[in-house]
Amino acid sequence: MNRTDIRETLDEESIRLTKSLGQNLLHDQNVLRRIAKAGDLSPTDKVLEIGPGLGALTAHLLPAVSQLTAIEMDRRLEAKLRERFGSESHFELQHCDALKFFAQPENQSADWSEWKLISNLPYSVASPLLVDLAAMPRGPERLVVTLQLEVAQRLCAVPGTKEYSKLTLLVGCRYEAGEMFRISPHCFFPEPRVDSACLTFHRRAEPLFADELYKPFKTVVKRAFSQRRKMMRKNLKGGWPDDKIDAAMAATGLDSKIRAEKVTLAEFVKLTQELQEGIEQ
Ligand code: SAM
């Protein structure tokens, strides 16, 4: 589907794309091919696609896999997708909000480890979605996601930079960022105001911590970054007794004056383990 096809389809159906749903549709076939290639697909693969839109990326993925489950929130686009791919037995379409879908306990705890998620994500929900995917004990083995360049940079950030944030850690604790390529606004209809990037993540083969530690890890990271300019020790106060915080920071080898943005992922893991010591899970 090139830019003209997209415009014609939208005109025929009197569909006006909605900014609040992040409806910037990809039409550049080279970029779409490159995204599919980053999925490293094989005929037995199962793929999840969030926000298929009119199916530009779906058309590249569907012939290459054994199952594709797409989640689209816009009823108007859902109808077009059913028209286009409904006859394919390995295509499944859910009409719902992807955030609500993954929040359902049965989907949170399901085994997605044999799935790959490949999506041009709606930008407004990209960050919470990635955090939800990382929160799953058995999340998809690979994520190939197109998002705002600025968000991609935060996801790949290293300690001590302004991009290093809660998001870096909450996704990074379960996924390792791999290749990234930039996508120009010209590749979308309508053109977004910012640059985008396609980023590949691989689920960590060796978990950094036991599943029970994910929730406490998230609490520690959120508290630590609650006021970025403050010392981390002050941000953690109130969550645990002061002497426990001091002992945990010392055992992790952290200076008592350090700010969260300087603390590495491995140090956050160790700090969480120390803070949880003696607490029933
Ligand atoms: N994949 C298509 C493409 O590349 O041309 C469309 C991508 S567009 C950036 C985002 C898509 O996500 C839109 O089709 C939009 O309707 C859908 N969407 C937005 N919010 C959603 C949500 N919370 N759950 C599911 N789909 C959503």
Domain at 158, CATH number: 3.40.50.150
CA count, 13 A, side-chain hemisphere, 258: 20
Asked whether residue 281 is assigned to any structural domain, the reply reads: no
Strands 25-26 and 188-189: antiparallel
Percentages of the chain per state (helix, strand, coil), in multiples of 5: 45, 20, 35
Percent of the chain residues past pLDDT 90, beyond the cut = 95
Residues 217 and 119 in one domain: no
How many CB atoms lie under 10 A from the CB of residue 180?
15
Asked whether residue 163 is assigned to any structural domain, the reply reads: yes
Radius of gyration of the chain (CA): 21
For the ranges 21-25, 195-199, 266-270, 276-280, the lowest mean pLDDT is seen at 276-280
Measured distance CA(109)–CA(127) in Å, rounded: 20
Q: Is 53:23 a contact under the CB 8 Å cutoff?
A: yes
Cα 127 to middle of ligand 1, angstroms: 14
Reported as a single tens digit per residue, the pLDDT across 236-276 is 999 999 999 999 999 999 999 999 999 999 999 999 999 99
> 46 has which bridge partners?
67, 115
Q: Is 175:233 a contact under the CB 8 Å cutoff?
A: no
Q: Return the residue whose CA atom lies nearest to atom 14 of ligand 1.
A: 53
CB-based burial label for 52 (10 Å; 0-12, 13-18, 19+): buried
Residues 80 and 159 in one domain: yes
Domain of 259 in residue numbering reads as 211-276
Residues 195 and 145 in one domain: yes
Reported as a single tens digit per residue, the pLDDT across 104-152 is 999 999 999 999 999 999 998 999 999 999 999 999 999 999 999 999 9
Asked whether residue 267 is assigned to any structural domain, the reply reads: yes
Cα 109 to middle of ligand 1, angstroms: 24
Ligand 1 atom nearest to CA at 99? 23
Query: Residues lining ligand 1, CB < 6 A?
Result: 21-26, 50-53, 56-57, 71-74, 77, 97-99, 120, 122, 125
Asked whether residue 195 is assigned to any structural domain, the reply reads: yes
Alpha-helical regions (H) of the chain: 3-12, 29-38, 58-61, 75-85, 98-103, 105-109, 126-135, 149-155, 166-172, 214-224, 232-236, 242-252, 265-276
Domain's final residue, options 164, 185, 203:
203
- For residue 44, is pLDDT > 90? yes
Measured distance CA(6)–CA(95) in Å, rounded: 21
- Give the rounded distance of the alpha carbon of 250 from its chain centre: 33
Count of domains for the chain: 2
Q: Return the residue whose CA atom lies nearest to atom 20 of ligand 1.
A: 21
Q: Return the residue whose CA atom lies nearest to atom 5 of ligand 1.
A: 25
CA nearest neighbour of 154 among 143, 165, 170: 165
Q: Is the peptide bond before 128 cis (omega within 30 degrees of 0)?
A: no
Ligand 1 atom nearest to CA at 18? 16
Residue 280: predicted pLDDT: 64
Ligand 1 atom nearest to CA at 24? 9
Cα 23 to middle of ligand 1, angstroms: 6
Cα 70 to middle of ligand 1, angstroms: 10
- Give the rounded distance of the alpha carbon of 20 from its chain centre: 18
Q: Name the token pair of 99.
A: 């955030």
Residue 281: predicted pLDDT: 59
CA nearest neighbour of 113 among 87, 86, 89, 143: 143
What DSSP designation does 193 have?
S
Asked whether residue 102 is assigned to any structural domain, the reply reads: yes
Residues 197 and 271 in one domain: no
Reported as a single tens digit per residue, the pLDDT across 198-222 is 999 999 999 999 999 999 999 999 9
